[in-house]
Amino acid sequence: MHLMKSEMNNVINNIFYFCE
């Protein structure tokens, strides 16, 4: 579960980075 949350956060961060 913890890993899943970390992975989701990574994906969101990646999207935000791409959107910037």
The pTM score is: 0.33
pLDDT of residue 13: 95
DSSP string, 1-20: -HHHHHHHHHHHHHHHHHH-
Structure tokens at 8: 């989701």
For the stretch 1-20, pLDDT in tens is 577 899 999 999 999 998 87
pLDDT of residue 1: 59
pLDDT of residue 3: 76
pLDDT of residue 12: 95
Structure tokens at 3: 């890993």
